[in-house]
Amino acid sequence: MEGKNEQRAGLLYGIGAYVMWGLVPLFWPLLKPSGAIEILAHRMVWSLGVVTIALLAVRRWAWIGELVRDRRKLALISVAAATITVNWGLYIWAVNNGQVVEASLGYFINPLVTIAMGVLLLGERLRPVQWVAVATGLAAVLVLAIGYGRPPWISLVLAFSFATYGLVKKKVNMGGLESLAAETAVLFVPALGFLLWLAATGKSTFTAGGTGHGFLLAATGIVTAIPLICFGAAAVRVPLSTLGLLQYLAPIFQFGLGVVYFKESMPPERWAGFALVWLALSLLTWDALRTARRNRALAVKLLATAAAAPATATPTPEGAAILPGNAAPLGGTTTPTPEAATTTTGTEAPNPAQQKTT
């Protein structure tokens, strides 16, 4: 019963996190007349403050010493900070310039871009259905380029920057809160310097926009941290395959807001492009679930075989137990657990708990 309650709580945390990320386009327009770069700088500065309070609450500080002593990890954190800066900044600009639908497309195609990068950069092998999904995604980008009259560069930059961020985070291997704290710490000095420069030149909107506007800019830290905290709570309670399905909630909400609330145009060719993207994601999800189910069944079968082996083993003159019909000793094979066999894409993808900070 306790396990079911934990999974139910994890599911609610995960849904809450992705719904908040999906509804965040409603927040950025409230910060006008601040520009995208000023909003981004405030987000970096205030996020560090909120995350620091969260780390104080959970008393997790040991990672700081380890990070400072590891130059390679520090360099990777700096790369992650640079790529998420591009992602955050462009997303804010897109929302505040009437491009919510194209921004949502970036997060729809992100899984496909992540898989493509795994093949090109890590030499990972794809299953046939995954190849079909990637090819369908590429066709969708071509259709959308025709519909827009230009490549959907906002979507592509968002997708590739976030996929790069995920790849780097995979190598860093840090928790969500710790990673966000390290990244915002790297960005804190240039962000604060930029805000001070705006104030010195009379271009800052932090105080000029009134007290309410200043509070909204400060709230960017909360808007960044709370969904991440909920996501971290979900990641330790539900399987990654579940999180892999929940991740589509955010771009679905963003797309819906773009079409219904912001009333962005959706000509037929754009609907066709999005339909191809959704087809590609459906294929990818079906293949991932089928593979996960097959792997779990294989793991259960191997566990059952290993459990039954001692009762049917025949001792050898040396006393080693041999499996019937197999020349390998019992200790010579490794049996995967069902948890280890579960995958969401079929390629080695970054842990969402260490990745998502949109």
pLDDT at 134: 87
Instruction: Supply the DSSP symbol for 204.
Output: -
State the helix-helix crossing angle for 220-235 and 2-23, rounded to 10 degrees. 150
Contact of 243 with 345, CB cutoff 8 Å = no
Contact of 110 with 250, CB cutoff 8 Å = no
The two structure tokens encoding residue 307: 């459990």
Three-class secondary structure assignment of 210-238: CHHHHHHHHCHHHHHHHHHHHHHHHHCCC
Q: Write out pLDDT tens, residues 182-214.
A: 998 999 999 999 999 999 999 999 988 789 999
The pLDDT tens digits along the chain (358 residues) read 566 778 888 889 889 989 999 999 999 999 999 999 999 999 999 999 998 998 888 888 888 888 888 889 999 999 999 999 999 999 999 999 999 999 999 999 988 888 888 888 877 788 888 889 889 988 998 998 888 888 899 999 999 998 898 888 878 877 778 888 899 899 999 999 999 999 999 999 998 878 999 999 999 999 988 888 888 788 778 776 677 778 889 999 999 999 999 999 999 988 999 999 999 889 888 888 888 788 888 888 888 888 876 655 555 544 443 333 333 333 333 333 333 333 344 444 444 444 555 5
pLDDT at 97: 95
**CA separation, residue 305 to residues 182, 312, 323 (Å):** 46, 10, 9
CA dihedral 251, 256, 261, 262 (to 10 degrees): 60
Q: Which residues pair with 321 in a beta bridge?
A: 315
pLDDT at 93: 96
Q: Write out pLDDT tens, residues 271-316.
A: 999 999 999 889 888 888 888 788 888 888 888 888 876 655 555 5
Single out the residue of 349, 30, 63, 15 nearest to residue 180, CA to CA: 63
Residue 314: other Cβ atoms inside 10 A: 8
Q: Which residues pair with 268 in a beta bridge?
A: none
pTM: 0.78
Beta strands in 197-328 (DSSP E): 314-315, 321-322
Which amino acid belongs to residue 84? I
Distance CA 22, CA 258 (A): 11
Contact of 61 with 55, CB cutoff 8 Å = yes
pLDDT at 358: 58
The two structure tokens encoding residue 312: 């049917």
pLDDT at 167: 85
pLDDT at 262: 95
Which amino acid belongs to residue 122? L
pLDDT at 120: 81
